[in-house]
């Protein structure tokens, strides 16, 4: 009799936006229209490379909210996880094999 109570709420709205499973590598000419999950490697784009702090390795569009953020080589290599810097998102994930996205719980 409690079938209603067992229905679960899904905060991410998974029906509309299934989680993106892998990164898509793009180049500088696509920078102003990057989609969630797109990544732009700074080493492949010299004019951008000169503008960005050498501590960072790539520009990543958050796979959940699409906000652009800078990530380090350690994050790109999967050594460190990535947390979206946007307060309303806080998507936490790891990049596996420089391609696949593994979502992690938000602490």
Task: Summarize as ranges the residues that interact with Zn ion (CB under 5 A).
Answer: 62, 64-65, 84, 86, 89, 91
Kindly state the smallest distance separating residue 61's Cβ from Zn ion, in Å.
Answer: 9
Quick one: which of 56, 49, 7, 5 has its CA closest to 27? 49
- Specify the residue, 77 or 85, whose C-beta has the smaller distance to Zn ion: 85
Kindly state the smallest distance separating residue 56's Cβ from Zn ion, in Å.
Answer: 17
- Specify the residue, 29 or 88, whose C-beta has the smaller distance to Zn ion: 88
Quick one: which of 42, 74, 77 has its CA closest to 58? 42
In the chain, how long is the greatest CA-to-CA distance?
A: 64
33: its two tokens = 């229209």
- Specify the residue, 52 or 89, whose C-beta has the smaller distance to Zn ion: 89
């Amino acid at each position: 009799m409690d079938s209603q109570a067992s229905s679960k709420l899904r905060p991410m709205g998974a029906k509309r936006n299934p989680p993106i499973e892998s990164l898509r590598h793009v180049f500088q000419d696509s920078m102003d229209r990057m989609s969630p999950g797109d990544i732009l490697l700074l080493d492949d784009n010299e004019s951008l490379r000169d503008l960005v702090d050498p501590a960072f390795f790539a520009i990543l569009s958050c796979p959940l909210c699409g906000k652009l953020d800078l990530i380090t080589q350690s994050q790109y290599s999967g050594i460190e996880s990535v947390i979206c810097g946007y307060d309303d998102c806080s998507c936490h994930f790891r990049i596996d094999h420089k391609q696949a996205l593994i979502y992690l719980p938000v602490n």
